[in-house]
Structure 1
Amino acid sequence: MSNPMMYVVTMAVFTYLIRALPLTLFNKPITNIYVQSFLYYVPYVTLAVMTFPNILYETNSQLAGLAALIVGIILAWKDKSLFQVSIACCLVVLTMEYII
């Protein structure tokens, strides 16, 4: 199976199945509050898992990444917008890397 097109076709089939099976298996709305709660938080957890390691390791210094993470958490906790949080974190990384 060294043919790259086989990999692409296999990926396409499995991606389609992952998206099509829930539509065909679940005909009624989900009423279980625990399942609804779980499904509500899945996108947020997935985004956090994908971005968290990059916050610490994509900078030249892990200390700069950690400082930006702390500033981002504090600003997000204070209900600042995503744009404000991202700009502040970028400025913290630039400042920290300039100092270090």
Structure 2
Amino acid sequence: MNRAIIMIIFTGLVTYLARVIPLLLYRGKEPSKFVRSFLEYIPYSALAAILFPEILYSTDSMLTAALGGSCATILIIKKQNMIITVAGTILLVYILNLSI
């Protein structure tokens, strides 16, 4: 039990430091246009990396899975909110699976 508590505290400390150190180092500095542009695409890249392997096998029908992946891609290209992208894609695939 004590080991688990120590690990939880250590994990929290490491997570906290990883967030505070950059904040302290870059206080008052404006990131370059390239860095801002790069950071803007990280949520979409993370979503794609997490979801893409599962997209094709997420449903019983490869067609509905491909259409859902296409819907997500279009919404991402149009720079929609992450919640709108995920919810819209889930809704589309659900409706397509009902009709097939």
What's the TM-score bracket when you normalise by the shorter of the two chains?
Answer: 0.5 to 0.7
Change (3 A) 1:79 1:43: closer
Which range is displaced more, 78-87 or 32-41?
Answer: 78-87
Q: 2:90 aligned to 86, 90, 98, which one?
A: 86
Equivalence for 2:42 = 42
Which range is displaced more, 62-71 or 9-18?
Answer: 62-71
Equivalence for 1:54 = 54
Change (3 A) 1:72 1:43: closer
**Cα contact 2:64–2:93 (8 A) shared by 1:** no
Specify every segment of 5 or more residues in structure 2 that has no aligned partner in the other structure, as ranges: none
Provide the aligned length of Structure 1 versus Structure 2.
94
**Cα contact 1:71–1:89 (8 A) shared by 2:** no
- RMSD, aligned α-carbons: 3.2
Quote the sequence identity (%): 30
Q: Secondary structure at the match of 1:3?
A: helix
Change (3 A) 1:73 1:26: closer
Which range is displaced more, 12-21 or 38-47?
Answer: 38-47
**Structure 1 Cα separation of the partners of residues 63 and 72 of structure 2:** 14
Give the TM-score normalised by structure 1.
Answer: 0.65
**Structure 2 Cα separation of the partners of residues 29 and 79 of structure 1:** 27
Match for 1:24: what amino acid?
Answer: L
**Cα contact 1:56–1:62 (8 A) shared by 2:** yes
